[in-house]
Structure 1
């Protein structure tokens, strides 16, 4: 971020603080000189901002490791973002499992807990199991800043507005059920798609169809690097088409409509083989087909990514940057 002159000095300071924090967030650690170059902020200002961020617990100066050779003259100051200063949690509440992953502010998973469920489990029991899993996973990991939740059905504003798989699940208000920190909720297949784009088979691809196969089939659609949920948040819910021919034919129709670079499938290897053959037969251009790289963690990991995106917006917002004013 280029240095600015004139104008509102408090805004300038906030913008400089964002530049410094972003540079540290993206690196393991940086010397003062490297931080000045990466942020394009003057050396005295960087030192002041680093001190402010240190008081907030977000940044610390890194001492020389014990036994490291001592440089001639004053050693260069080094700084790091304290990714352990807070955590986010990602919780899947699905037909077959409640799974919670806890991650630090860089997204590295540091805690997990899981319990089995069945599609017939009553809503109250499903919520109770999810609460216990969440409590177990976050134990020893303080300052959970945001909780992300992924669940089956159409989710809007944190509420399950339509669901045909789980008894009593339509109408469940997830933020109201899981208070204590900000709660973001979304459809499980959409969040699994987000996870595959972040750390799975779809990393580096911005136009992707994700196929979640099982007793019911649903699709996640990533277009231009962004999830496409549709007008009602119900895009990809093809599991309702119970009499619409083979599964592979439905996906081929979606691929023809969207022309993605990649199809990722979560399911058996046999299904992946069948889908490759169908797409090769039906599509105008070759499309790459890969199996999911994330397995049963996909939904919870996508919920972590959803929560982490909220934290990143807060860290790098003009209004809320530490040391502003």
Structure 2
């Protein structure tokens, strides 16, 4: 985060900046009076901070619309956050496709690129395709701040710790592969775990805190959201228990999901993947039979975008932490 000019370097000043910026980020636009109330910062300080944030391109004053009624006296100042002040990207590097989404700082998708691949493709060739998709998606955006990447296998600290479903994937350092020489940070995660994030953010799990996400396709994998936070496990391998060469049979799937739901006391199960529609009815019946409390079961709303959208959410969370936690405003 760039420094604000001429400011008081005290912690109070830094917290005030974060409060003003967060208030604007969470609203469409606010009058100066509304911004003072929302941020709980004094009016003169809010005006000064808004001007500094405007110099950074993060905030803008909203002009009065030409056709708006003209108020008596001086019109109230209005401010809004500028989502286009930066962008994030989410890249899926999967067995069958590479997909990149670019989003503004509110998470609205403004660019995308896609290419098909095959599971047998070598690691260098898969990475070549992924790099090209990334370039195609972000080529028109010069202010990408963070890139999130979702892929198969156990992923920890930007590396594929275990990725035996793709040739040459184990040991791959995604952070270095996609971040070397770039101005943006690179974060990486398991594709199913990122799909879980996406469902909580923009999908069927929005508003739910304890969620089991199951991807039922050529293989079956699991994602867990506990207490509103993604649970990855000690080694980043939570949910990888279902990886196999082919999908488990329907009865086995129901038993395994039911056992997981009972273990974590989930309120919601979301099923994604190509077999979701076939499995949802029998699973609902199984959970109704076994669980002492009602458990909702829904199909994914996100389709093929779920992994890349989860990678966008991963990247956006990092940007939000940088903006709102403690800004460097000295």
Q: Could you say which TM-score interval applies, normalised by the shorter chain?
A: over 0.9
TM-score by length of 2: 0.92
Deviation of 1:257 after TM superposition, in Å, equals: 1.2
Counterpart contact for 2:93–2:151, Cα < 8 Å: yes
- Structure 1 partner of 2:230: 227
Question: Is 2:249 the counterpart of 1:246?
Answer: no
The ranges of structure 1 where at least 4 consecutive aligned residues each deviate by more than 6 angstroms after the TM superposition are: 241-245
Deviation of 1:259 after TM superposition, in Å, equals: 1.3
- Structure 2 partner of 1:4: none
Mapped partners of 2:133, 2:82: distance in 1: 26
Secondary structure, aligned partner of 1:191: helix
- Structure 2 partner of 1:52: 52
Secondary structure, aligned partner of 1:92: strand
- Structure 1 partner of 2:265: 259
Mapped partners of 1:241, 1:116: distance in 2: 22
- Structure 2 partner of 1:207: 210
Counterpart contact for 2:272–2:299, Cα < 8 Å: yes
- Structure 2 partner of 1:183: 186
Secondary structure, aligned partner of 1:280: helix
Secondary structure, aligned partner of 1:127: helix
Secondary structure, aligned partner of 1:79: strand
Mapped partners of 2:293, 2:77: distance in 1: 54
Question: Is 2:315 the counterpart of 1:307?
Answer: yes
CA deviations 1:222-277 (Å, max 9, x no partner) are 11111111111111112246789722211111112111000000133111122222
Mapped partners of 1:204, 1:164: distance in 2: 34
CA deviations 1:185-222 (Å, max 9, x no partner) are 00000000000001100001000000011111100011
- What does residue range 158-197 of structure 1 map to in structure 2 within 5 Å? 158-179=158-179, 180=182, 181-197=184-200
- Structure 2 partner of 1:81: 81
Deviation of 1:9 after TM superposition, in Å, equals: 6.7
- Structure 2 partner of 1:91: 91
Secondary structure, aligned partner of 1:303: helix
Deviation of 1:121 after TM superposition, in Å, equals: 1.2
Q: Which range moved further: 240-249 or 294-303?
A: 240-249
CA deviations 1:156-177 (Å, max 9, x no partner) are 1100010121111111110111
- Structure 1 partner of 2:201: 198
The count of residues paired between Structure 1 and Structure 2 equals: 315
- Structure 1 partner of 2:5: none
Mapped partners of 2:78, 2:327: distance in 1: 27
Mapped partners of 1:271, 1:95: distance in 2: 23
CA root-mean-square deviation: 1.6
Secondary structure, aligned partner of 2:10: helix
- Structure 2 partner of 1:297: 305
5+ residue gaps, structure 1: 1-7
